[in-house]
Structure 1
Amino acid sequence: MRLVFAGTPEFARVALAQLLQAGHEVPLVLTQPDRPAGRGMKLQASPVKQCALQHGIAVAQPLSLRLDGKHPADAAAARTALEAARPDAMVVAAYGLILPQWVLDLPRLGCLNIHASLLPRWRGAAPIHRAIEAGDAETGVTIMQMDAGLDTGAMLLAESTPIAAADTTATLHDRLATMGGRLIVQALDLAAGTGLTATPQPAEGVTYAHKIDKHEALIDWALPAEAIARRIRAFDPFPGASTQAQGEAIKLWSCEIDSFPRLPDAASGQILSIDDAGVRVACGQGVLRLTVLQRAGGKRLRAAEFLRGFALPQGLVLGA
């Protein structure tokens, strides 16, 4: 098929690469404007833009697609480019801009979205993070026919995957990205052949995966150990769970629920014991053993190595 692709991060790049490998024609890619990133804060192209340029595909980076919005010239230029591309369908994956009705109506087959959850659970911006944080047993990818709502369109294809006890947002992201690329190729094959069956999303079970805010990264040690452990996994690699210790912000990257007895008079966040296996911390319920930590500007280190360069004395209350 002749496609326009709209996406920005690595999750979307994987899908674009699989569409190209499957032989689809992509004359135009939409992606977010270059952003400053890295220690030097130099402008960097998105993963999708880099992939498009490597394949000689035209790239548009409008600030908005709303013809009556704050950037009407951007939107008008994007409309001209989209109309010239004459797409059979538009594939959207983590693009970052709301698509107005004129975009939804432009392709012959409409706009198909690759969403990293089993809709209607976890509509919104951060479905992978929120699924892990909530302790979901499984998640997946839904290919959706886009409409004017926030991830409210009819479901075309879906596939699930279990969330393992060791899964982080990083590991689950990579698995879902590959799944999403495979499913969108499958969906387009069906659309070109026997056709796709659209199933309306059920009214029950709707949840929203609100965008991750950096302030959420600070661990509340009054929470149960299991909830904190899920949050540490959910916030890897961004924004990274953290706590205050000895006047410094310490990132927490890996942990385990520990059977070490929690003293009844121990404060939440109090260090109960320290050894090469990790730092045992009292939580609101239970004990958590921190196994991989990081100082600001440093590297992720196993607890034994971290403690050789940073003192965390027994009895210290983290986050205080």
Structure 2
Amino acid sequence: MSARPLRVVFAGTPEFAVPCLEACRASGAEVVAVYTQPDRPAGRGRKLAPSPVKQAALAAGIAVEQPETLKTAEAQATLAAYRPDLMVVVAYGLILPRKVLAIPRLGCWNVHASLLPRWRGAAPIQRAILAGDSETGVGLMQMEAGLDTGPVLLEKRTAITGDDTGGTLHDRLAALGAEALADGLARVLAGAMLTATPQVAEGVVYAHKLDKAESALDFSRPAIALERQVRAFDPWPGSDAELAGERVRVWAARAVGPSQAGEAGRVIAAGREGIAIACGEGTLRITALQRAGGRRISAADYLNARPELRSPRPP
């Protein structure tokens, strides 16, 4: 073990990164600074709000840096002044130039929420659900100049269940990422070497950033694809649909078998079990939804307000 504590600079912004910050603090390393995105407007009042990582850092008494960019000589000099042995990056949101990657003695590590090289990029959790992947995980990666192209140091896997949403998988992968980071730090602190495994050239898929424009449910698509969309986009950006003339947000739905008579988008049955919508292929049964300005409710409660949609038999 080194004579002095391992000096770590942590860079992260959203809630996903907080467990990894806590893993750094619990490892025995010295977190000398936290880098996070500048405060952004949030809430109805659009007041500037600190990121979840900033809040955690301030609560722990750690110095916080919030540069708009790391490309300037001034920002790079500030980072170098912390004399980091290692920089840990988790969903930070800023590009690290080559000069920044070269500052820490051990380079920069990144915790990424996919099994690389599949789902490089901004939204790997949701894209994995959308694609119908049966498995995902986290990778502890040695960073290099390319987008999520660096060799993988450690990897942890988890199954994607039929009940997983973007939210549940986010939370599970955040915890797994902290475990992978803790393992990596423990090995370095014990004087062990981590083997960096280059990513294979085959199977590269990019997880493009989510866009609110993707939230609309297109009932001409297969029901199974819409079920995955509803799960992947919970809690954000949500899935919007037109239901018998009313715009609603769909929070839970299942693909329930072959198509019944009726054009795509038409309600073909509605009852205690849900609201069945004809799709381009198969049928989607909506079980939880939200009216404009309302809260999330069950399909049964929605039908109490719209009894004209009820079928004489359950869908």
**TM-score normalised by L of structure 1:** 0.91
1:231 aligns to what? 229
d(CA) in 1 for partners of 2:306, 2:84: 57
Structure 1 range deviating more: 155-164 or 301-310? 301-310
1:173 aligns to what? 170
2:3 aligns to what? none
CA deviations 1:101-148 (Å, max 9, x no partner) are 111000000000000000000000000000000000100000000000
Report the secondary structure of 2:150's partner residue: coil
Instruction: For residue 83 of structure 1, report the CA deviation from its aligned partner.
Output: 1.4
Q: Is the 2:14–2:52 Cα contact (8 Å) retained in structure 1?
A: yes
1:205 aligns to what? 203
- Gapped regions of structure 1 (runs ≥ 5): 68-74, 316-320
Q: Does 1:28 align with 2:13?
A: no
d(CA) in 2 for partners of 1:207, 1:256: 27
Paired amino acid for 1:97: L
Report the secondary structure of 1:122's partner residue: strand
CA deviations 1:222-268 (Å, max 9, x no partner) are 11111110011010111001112465431111112224x6334x111
Q: Does 1:195 align with 2:193?
A: yes
d(CA) in 2 for partners of 1:20, 1:298: 41
Q: Is the 1:18–1:182 Cα contact (8 Å) retained in structure 2?
A: yes
Instruction: For residue 296 of structure 1, report the CA deviation from its aligned partner.
Output: 2.4
Paired amino acid for 1:280: A
Paired amino acid for 2:286: L
CA deviations 1:169-224 (Å, max 9, x no partner) are 10001000001011111112222322100111000000000000110010111111
Q: Does 1:44 align with 2:54?
A: no
Report the secondary structure of 1:48's partner residue: helix
Q: Does 1:287 align with 2:283?
A: yes
Q: Does 1:276 align with 2:281?
A: no
Q: Is the 2:272–2:300 Cα contact (8 Å) retained in structure 1?
A: yes
Q: Which residue, 72, 76, 101 being the options, matches 1:79?
A: 76
Q: Is the 1:245–1:312 Cα contact (8 Å) retained in structure 2?
A: no
Change (3 A) 1:41 1:244: farther
1:250 aligns to what? 248
Report the secondary structure of 1:63's partner residue: coil
Report the secondary structure of 2:241's partner residue: strand
Instruction: For residue 14 of structure 1, report the CA deviation from its aligned partner.
Output: 1.3
Q: Does 1:98 align with 2:95?
A: yes
1:72 aligns to what? none
Instruction: For residue 314 of structure 1, report the CA deviation from its aligned partner.
Output: 6.4
Change (3 A) 1:294 1:144: same
Q: Is the 2:36–2:53 Cα contact (8 Å) retained in structure 1?
A: yes
1:318 aligns to what? none
d(CA) in 2 for partners of 1:298, 1:106: 51
RMSD: 1.6
d(CA) in 2 for partners of 1:209, 1:102: 26
Paired amino acid for 1:294: Q
Change (3 A) 1:91 1:31: same
CA deviations 1:44-80 (Å, max 9, x no partner) are 111000000000111111111112xxxxxxx61x323
Percent identity between matched residues is 55
1:296 aligns to what? 292
Q: Is the 2:27–2:186 Cα contact (8 Å) retained in structure 1?
A: no
Structure 1 range deviating more: 249-258 or 202-211? 249-258
Q: Does 1:215 align with 2:220?
A: no
Paired amino acid for 1:99: L
Q: Which residue, 19, 28, 31 being the options, matches 1:14?
A: 19
Q: Does 1:120 align with 2:102?
A: no
Q: Does 1:135 align with 2:132?
A: yes
Q: Is the 1:8–1:94 Cα contact (8 Å) retained in structure 2?
A: yes
Report the secondary structure of 2:69's partner residue: coil
